[in-house]
Amino acid sequence: MFYVSVFVQYMGQYMKTKLQYRADLFVEWLSDLMAQAVNLIFLLVVFSHTPLLHGWSRDEMLFIYGFFLVPYAVFAAFFNLWDFNERYIVQGEMDRVLTRPVHSLFQIILERMELESLLGAVPGLVIMVYVGSRLSLSFHWYDALMFILLVVGGVLIYAGIFISLATISFFADARTSIMPMMYNISSYGRYPVDIYHRVIRYILTWVLPFAFVGVYPASYFLRKEEWYGYAFFTPVVGALFFAIAVMLWNAGVRWYRGTGS
Amino acid sequence: MNIIEVEQLRKEFKVHRSRSGLVGAFRDLWTRRYTTVRAVDGISFAVKRGEIVGYIGENGAGKSTTIKMLTGILTPTSGRIVVNGMNPHQEREKFVRTIGVVFGQRSQLWWDIAVQESFRLLKKVYRVPDEQYDRHMGEVIEMLEIGSLLDKPVRKLSLGQRMRCELAAALIHNPPLLFLDEPTIGLDVLVKLNIRQFLKQLNERYGTTILLTTHDMSDIEALCERVIMLDEGKIIYDGSLETLKEKWGQGKRVAFTFAEATAAPPLQELTVGLDVVWKKGEQPNIWVAHVPSGGVPEVVSRVAARYPLQDIRIYEASTEEIVRHIYEEGAVHG
């Protein structure tokens, strides 16, 4: 409860900060939307040349991509950890975080949130509605709940992986280039996994489960029943990876406090 | 009652030693050589409630490491720490609610939002009830004279203004113990005075215990009755500032400007029996007597009775000089 109220307070302050720079905010939104639009057009062009891939139609692949954008946007809004090493370890901001009576990871998430990234979900929703109507998919009332559950699962998977990566900074003082590499790998989850080699499919499912952020959950809405098992497994994988990440984080903080910087 | 108790506290760091040259760099890839550095080497001390203690030492003497252990940021290698009746690194989240920390080189406040908004966030983080906040912070804001700054964003404040706001931010939850790491670094004289005065008031009114590190000896002189001096991770002096000055102040220097040029032998003869060393001044008619404390009146009266004088000046070693002298000698003997 305390954490929720702190969260709300931070959110309020965040809004105020953003509203201070009105022009800035406007330009940012505009450029974000434009970037998303370009992305969308690019996708349509690419997919228009690949009508059918391993039994997935163009529209289905677009739908997967559309779905992926939603958890990704939520992740990008709240888990802005890509410069964690630089900001918190090298510059020593971690010390300040550790002198406050709130869990350190929670504080960093709050300090670094970028709510405007949530806009990235809009094109995703547009794509899903558009493709969904073309594919004449049927929706039930409980699909809305399912959608939320699967999105949360996807966010937790992303968060889990990137928190675990950030944890490396506690142990190694050198900067690593793993973070950008992981962003690249994560994009593989946006495409149907059965187009990949067995090994890659295995990795994307069980090692770096990015497939659970794109294909698997999306196939639930595409009514691909052969993937349902995986789709329903999404929240479980999310919870698992997130829990592991938090444990790693705590171990990292313990280590950091043992060694200093 | 002791608010800080430290016994045989030790902190070791493993430092990677890189070999020189390209070959060395390759060898480092395989086997890394580490040396263990003792940043804090078995220190013990206790601080009573309401004390203001100056924690001084050269760069790298282990001051910051000690503060980080006392505030729960770092875990000690060995030794016992009890602060506010708790073990800082074991019960971090509960413990930090009972301390305030100001790092002079690092900001507690959010850069983009108004000062009072930062305060409000911290109030939430420290779970301070409205009524307590209004009463306590009202006083703090008044004492620090930052009322007019509250609605400005931090990025628009000068360093001095920001520092005063930082202090207020560290006191939001009215902690009984305040750690200040270089609180006056880079500030101008007026702001320094203001901050010192505030710290004194805080100490008197709320009985806040204060532990501060500083390189500015005038901070120590203005605030601290007690100093703990650290060198290479060990405590080399722990006691009152007065005693430090008396014992290691090495007396006073008296500069006599004579009406005419004089030589050393007659002067030495004059002060026979007194522990005085004469040294030549900048001009032939200036001589400086190094006199142990307490001996000044006797020397002055003897010289003045014998020679016509133009001027007499008495110099006392400043705390800064004393401290520098102690560092140069390496340790305080006795």
Mean pLDDT calculated for residue range A110-127: 87
Residue A154's pLDDT band (cuts 50, 70, 90): very high
pLDDT digits (tens, 9 = 90+) for B267-309: 888 887 777 888 888 888 888 888 877 778 888 888 888 888 8
Q: Which of A16, A159, A191, A104 shows the shortest CA–CA distance to B117?
A: A16
Mean pLDDT computed over every residue of chain A: 86
Q: Which of A88, A159, A114 has its CA nearest to residue A18?
A: A114
- Residue B207: pLDDT band by 50, 70, 90 thresholds? very high
What pLDDT, on the 0 to 100 scale, is given for residue B334? 42
Q: Are A168 and A249 in contact (CB under 8 A)?
A: no
Tell me which range, B17-21, B235-239, B269-273, is most confidently predicted by mean pLDDT: B235-239
Mean pLDDT of the A181-185 span: 81
Q: Reduced to 3 states, what is the DSSP secondary structure of residue B326?
A: helix
- A-proximal residues of B, 113-142, CB under 8 Å: 113, 117, 120-121, 124-127
Q: Is B94 on the interface with A (CB under 8 A)?
A: yes
B169-189 confidence digits (pLDDT tens): 999 999 999 999 988 888 889
Tell me, what's the pLDDT at A260? 60
In terms of pLDDT, which residue wins out, A147 or A183? A147
Residue B223 has pLDDT above 80, yes or no: yes
CA distance A54 to A51: 10
Lowest-confidence segment of A22-31, A100-109, A138-147 by average pLDDT: A22-31
Q: Which amino acid is at A117?
A: S
Poorest-confidence range of A81-85, A214-218, B28-32, B54-58?
B28-32
CB contact under 8 A, B108 and A96: yes
Q: Tell me, what's the pLDDT at A42? A: 80
CA geometry: angle at B38 spanning B32 and B43, to 5°? 160
* B310 has a pLDDT exceeding 70: yes
pLDDT tens digits, one per residue of A207-255:
889 988 888 998 899 888 888 889 899 999 999 999 999 999 999 998 8
Q: Which of B166, B127, B176, B123 is nearest to B144 (CA)?
A: B166
Query: A101 and B126 in contact by Cβ < 8 A?
Result: yes
Instruction: Indicate yes or no: CB of A13 within 8 angstroms of CB of B108.
Output: no
Please state, in angstroms and as integers, the Cα–Cα distance from residue A186 to each residue in A85, A116, A208, following that order. Answer: 20, 21, 8
pTM of the model: 0.83
CB–CB of B295/B250 below 8 Å?
Answer: no
* From A8-12, A61-65, A69-73, A181-185, the region with the lowest mean pLDDT: A181-185
pLDDT band at A148 (very low <50, low <70, confident <90, very high): very high
Tokens of B47: 């601080």
- Whether the CB-CB separation of B3 and B31 falls below 8 Å is answered with no
Q: Which of A60, A51, A46 is nearest to A227 (CA)?
A: A60
CB A14, CB A77: distance < 8 Å: no
Question: Which residues in chain B have their CB less than 8 angstroms from residue A93's CB?
Answer: 106
| Mean pLDDT, all residues of chain B | 87
Domains belonging to chain B, first-starting first, are: 2-246 (3.40.50.300), 251-316 (3.30.70.1570)
Taking only the tens place, the pLDDT of each residue in A89-111 is 888 889 899 999 999 999 999 99
pLDDT the model gives residue B331: 54
pLDDT at A23: 78
| Confidence (pLDDT) at B247 | 74
Q: Would you call B117 and A13 a contact, using CB atoms and an 8 Å cutoff?
A: yes
In this structure, the number of other CB atoms found within 10 A of the CB of residue B170 comes to 22
Per the CB < 8 Å rule, is B112 touching A20? yes
> How many other C-beta atoms lie within 10 A of the C-beta of residue B158?
12
Q: Is the pLDDT of residue A70 over 90?
A: yes
What value does the CA radius of gyration of chain B take, rounded to a whole number of Å? 25
Provide mean pLDDT across the span A140-158: 93
**For the purposes of burial, counting CB atoms within 10 Å of the CB of B183, is it exposed (0-12), middle (13-18) or buried (19 or more)?**
buried
Identify whether the C-beta of residue B109 lies closer than 8 Å to the C-beta of residue B190.
Answer: no
Residue A188 has pLDDT above 50, yes or no: yes
pLDDT for residue A255: 86
Query: Coil, helix or strand for B256?
Result: strand
DSSP letter for each residue of B299-313 = HHHHHHHHS-EEEEE
Mean pLDDT of A141-147: 91
**Domain residue limits, chain A:** 2-259
Nearest CA in chain B to A10: B121
| Whole-number pLDDT of residue B269 | 81
In this prediction, residue B177 carries a pLDDT of 95
Token couple for B101: 């920390």
Q: State ipTM.
A: 0.80
Instruction: Mark yes or no for CB contact A6/B125 under 8 Å.
Output: yes
Question: Chain B partners of A96 at a C-beta cutoff of 8 Å?
Answer: 103, 106, 108
Strands B209-213 and B52-57: parallel
- Asked if residue A261 has pLDDT above 60, the reply is no
Q: What DSSP state is assigned to residue A136?
A: T
The partner residue sitting opposite B124, judged by closest CB among A6, A17, A260, is A6
N-to-C CA span, chain A: 33
Question: A103, B153: Cβ pair inside 8 Å?
Answer: no
Cross-chain Cβ contact A260/B97 below 8 Å = no
In this complex, the residue of A16, A98, A102 whose CB is nearest that of residue B73 is A98
Residue B178 near residue B19, CB atoms below 8 Å: no
B14 interfacial to chain A (CB closer than 8 Å)? yes
Q: Give the pLDDT confidence score for residue B330 in this predicted structure.
A: 60
The owner of tokens 């190694």 is A172
Contact B311, B282 (CB under 8 A): no
